[in-house]
Amino acid sequence: MKDNSGAQVLGRTSWKRLGLVMVPTVVAAGALTVAMANGAIAASFAVSGQQFQLTAGSLNGSGFVEYGSVDQKADGTPVPDAVSAFKSADITNLCQSVVTSLPFIGDVTLTIKAGGGTTPVHADNLIIDLTQLNANTATFTNINIGQDASTLSGSAPGATGTKGFLGQQAESADLSGVQQIAYSANAGSFQLHDMTLGVTMGNNPCF
C-alpha cells in the first residue's frame, strides 16, 4: 500500500477523519439483539441509557479491538452500540460530561476533567461502549479489518464479539482530537491525574 506521495506504507492504516469505523456491525444490531436474547452476548452491567460525552487531546492505546455489541438497560431494553477496547491506554486532556434535565431546575451538567498536566490518564483493560467516535487523526498499526469478532484477541479480557460478525483488531491505535458519545466505560484500573469534578447549571457538555 502507498500513501498520497507514493511512498510505501507497511503495517499502518491512517484516516484523516475517523467516523464510526464499525458501521456494518451497528447496522447488524437487530441480529445482535436476537443473539443477546439467546444468551450469546453477556452484558457486564445494566446501563442507564443516558449517554455521556468524552473528549481527549490524544488517546494512545495498545491491544485495540472493535466490534458491534448490545448493552441492556435495567428494564431489559436492548441498547445497540460499538465496543472499542484497549489492553492499555494513555489519554491526555480528558473531559467527560453528562447532562441531566431535572424537574423544576432544568439542565444540569456534571463534568470531570483530568490528564491536563504532564502525566496522562492511564487505563488498563479499558472497554468503551459507544455510538459515535470522531478523531482528527487515527493511526492503526498492524490492523486486521473484517476479522471474525469471536476470534479477536490481545485486548481487554472478554473483549470479543459474536461469531460471524465483523470485527477488527490492531497492535496499537493512536488518535488525536478525540470525541466520543458513549453509554458506558469500564476498566481494570483507571488512574486520573490533575482531576477536577464540577456541577454547573445549564447544558455545558465537553463538545
Give tens-digit pLDDT for 166-205: 999 999 999 999 999 999 999 999 999 999 999 999 999 9
Model pLDDT for residues 81-130, shown as the tens digit of each residue: 999 999 999 999 999 999 999 999 999 999 999 999 999 999 999 999 99
95-129 burial: b if 16+ Cβ within 10 Å, else e: bbbbbeeeeeeeebbebbbbbbeeebbbbebbbbb
Q: How far apart are CA 55 and CA 52, in angstroms?
A: 10
pLDDT reported for residue 113:
98
pLDDT reported for residue 45:
83
Helix (H, G, I), strand (E, B) or coil at 151: helix
Helix (H, G, I), strand (E, B) or coil at 9: coil
Q: Between vectors from CA 103 to CA 98 and to CA 203, what angle results, nearest 5°?
A: 35
Q: How far apart are CA 193 and CA 113, in angstroms?
A: 9
Model pLDDT for residues 50-89, shown as the tens digit of each residue: 999 999 999 999 999 999 999 899 998 999 999 999 999 9
pLDDT at 19 > cutoff 70: no
Residue ranges covered by each domain of the chain = 18-40+48-201
